[in-house]
Amino acid sequence: MFPLVRCISHNLARAVMRQSPPWMIARQVIRGNPSQGFTLVEVLVALAAMALLSLLSWQGIDTLLRTREITQSQVNDTALVQVSLRQWQMDLDAMQPLPDLLPQGGVMWDGRVMRMVRRSPTPQSSGADGGVMVVAWTQRNDHWWRWQSSGLQTRAQVHQAWKAAAQWANNPIDESLRQSTRLMPTKGWTIFFFRGNSWSHPLSSQEPNQRSPDAVRIVLQLATPTEKAATSALTVDWVHPAFNPNRT
C-alpha cells in the first residue's frame, strides 16, 4: 500500500513541475502577484485626489461659516431695530400730560432732543405707585440714544429731571451717560406732530400752550454697513390710543 501512495505522489509532483517549472515559481515568489498591490504612481494619484477633496471641503466649510456670520449679524441688527422702536412706542403709550407743570403737554421737541413725561413702570418698594419718569431721545454718534430718570414723586424732581434730559442731549456728563442706552444705528431723524387734523413740524406751531399730539411720526435715516452705500429711511407712526378723528 505505501509504495502505491508514494508512486501516486511522485507522479502528481512531476505533473505540477511540468505545468509550473521551478524557475517560474521562483520568479513569481520574488516579484509577487501584481493584482494584490498598488504602484507608486497609483498611490500618488490617490493622495493628490484626497488633497483636492480636502481643499474643496475646507472652502465649502469656510463659505458656510461666513454665510452664518452674515445671517446672524443681520438677525441681530433687525432685533435691535425692533427693540428700539418698541421702546419708543412704549414711552409714547405711557406718556403722562402735566399741563399745570409743563405747558408743552408732557412732550417737547427742541430740534435736538425729544423729552417726555411718562408713567413709571416700576412701583416703589412699599408697593405704592412709582410716579412718573422723564425720558429723552436723541441722535448722536450715528446711533439713536435713550435717557431716562428714576421714579419722580414731586414737582421739583420733575423740573430737575426735565433740565437734566436737555443737558444730556447737548453736553452729557458721566452721571447722565450712565442713565442712557445706545440703541439702533441711525444717521439722522425727523419728527412730526399731528395736531388739529394735520401733520406739522413741532417747532412750526406758534400756539403758546400746546396739548399733547394726537400722533407722532418719526423718519429715521438708517445707517448702512458701508459708507459708500446710500442710507434708507424708515417711517414709523404712533397714534394716541384715545385719538378720535371725528373729535372737534
Least trusted range by pLDDT, from 164-178, 218-232, 233-247: 218-232
pLDDT in the model for residue 190: 92
Q: Structure pTM?
A: 0.68
Between 70 and 82, residue with greater pLDDT: 82
85 belongs to a structural domain:
yes
129: Cβ contacts below 8 Å, ≥ 6 apart: 120, 123
Between 13 and 167, residue with greater pLDDT: 167
116 belongs to a structural domain:
yes
Average pLDDT over residues 79-85: 92
Q: 231: pLDDT confidence band, cut at 50, 70 and 90? A: low
Distance CA 94, CA 92 (A): 5
Q: Tell me: pLDDT of 209 over 60.
A: no
What's the domain range around 143? 73-239
123: Cβ contacts below 8 Å, ≥ 6 apart: 129, 130
40 belongs to a structural domain:
no
Amino acid identity of residue 223, one-letter, is A
In degrees and rounded to multiples of 5, residue 33 shows phi and psi of -90, 115
Which SS3 state, helix, strand or coil, does residue 137 take? strand
How many domains is the chain partitioned into structurally?
1
What are the cell numbers at 18?
A: 511540468
pLDDT in the model for residue 205: 59
35 belongs to a structural domain:
no
Distance CA 205, CA 201 (A): 7
Percent of the chain with pLDDT over 90: 26
Work out whether the CA dihedral 29, 34, 36, 42 comes out positive or negative. Answer: positive
193 belongs to a structural domain:
yes
How does pLDDT run across 174-200, given as a tens digit for each residue? 777 788 899 999 999 999 999 878 898
